């Protein structure tokens, strides 16, 4: 069903800013952002093997819908992964065998929050589909990852988790929201 990640981050609207684009403060901020983006990208580049391993592990969970109500093992694994990255991660029962996962990365300060969400279940594997491999045994061919959910939505969940990971490893601090 849903994997909801609540990531505390700083989001400032331009309407609230008193600075103009040509001001020295904005030019310095732009340089800082460029260096920050570079650190995050370098961190991601250094984690390609870990990112691929994470995605492949997630694909191995057969959580096809229908039958649904089968995500508990995958959600429990994801909960442990998020907790190991410093997020508070809680599972909430929705139906028997079906849970929602909500994870929170606490920040500092007083800014808005950003919510990232996705689903962890995948479309059923039908008999008329011609898989050359087990759809829940991921493989890489031609620089692409194949397996059920590699496109929708297990790669999206992987991207969200790895983005949080990269931000943390790059040494960025999230501002906290009180709203």
The DSSP output letter for 132 is S
Helix (H) / strand (E) element for 63: namely none
Of the pLDDT bands very low, low, confident and very high (cuts 50, 70, 90), residue 86 is confident
Task: Provide the b/e sequence for 75-106 (b: ≥16 CB within 10 Å).
Answer: beebbebbeebebebebeeeeeebbbbbbbbe
**CB 87 within 8 Å of CB 28:** no
Task: Provide the b/e sequence for 16-47 (b: ≥16 CB within 10 Å).
Answer: eeeeeeeeeeeeeeeeeeeeeeebbeebbeeb
Q: Please state the domain count of the chain.
A: 1
| Domain membership flag for residue 76 | yes
Q: Sort 2 into a burial class: Cβ within 10 Å, 0-12 / 13-18 / 19+.
A: middle
Peptide bond just before 72 cis, omega within 30 deg? no
| Domain membership flag for residue 73 | yes
| Domain membership flag for residue 49 | yes
| Domain membership flag for residue 84 | yes
Q: Give pLDDT, residue 53.
A: 97
Residue 45: CATH number of its domain: 3.40.630.10
| Domain membership flag for residue 20 | no
| Domain membership flag for residue 131 | no
| Domain membership flag for residue 45 | yes
Of the pLDDT bands very low, low, confident and very high (cuts 50, 70, 90), residue 179 is very low
pTM of the model: 0.78
Average pLDDT over residues 149-173: 87
The boundaries of the domain holding residue 50 are 2-12+26-126+137-169
Of the pLDDT bands very low, low, confident and very high (cuts 50, 70, 90), residue 97 is low
pLDDT digits (tens, 9 = 90+) for 20-39: 444 555 456 566 677 878 88
pLDDT digits (tens, 9 = 90+) for 120-153: 889 999 989 989 999 999 999 999 999 999 998 9
Share of the chain above pLDDT 70, in %: 74
| Domain membership flag for residue 115 | yes
């Amino acid at each position: 069903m849903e994997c909801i990640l609540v990531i505390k981050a700083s989001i400032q609207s331009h309407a609230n800013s008193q600075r103009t684009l040509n001001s020295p403060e904005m030019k310095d901020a732009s340089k800082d952002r460029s260096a920050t983006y570079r650190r995050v990208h370098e961190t991601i580049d250094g984690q390609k093997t870990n990112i691929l391993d994470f995605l492949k592990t997630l694909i191995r969970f057969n959580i096809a819908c229908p039958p649904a109500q089968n995500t508990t093992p995958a959600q429990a694994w994801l909960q442990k992964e998020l907790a190991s990255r410093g997020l508070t991660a809680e599972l909430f029962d929705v139906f028997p065998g079906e849970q929602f996962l909500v994870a929170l990365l606490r920040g500092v300060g007083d800014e808005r929050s950003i919510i990232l969400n996705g689903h962890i279940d995948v479309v059923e594997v039908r008999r008329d589909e011609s898989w050359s491999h087990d759809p829940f045994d991921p493989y890489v061919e031609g620089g692409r990852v194949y397996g059920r959910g590699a496109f929708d939505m297990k790669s999206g969940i992987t991207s969200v988790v790895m983005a949080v990971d990269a931000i943390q490893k790059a040494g960025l601090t999230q501002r906290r929201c009180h709203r």
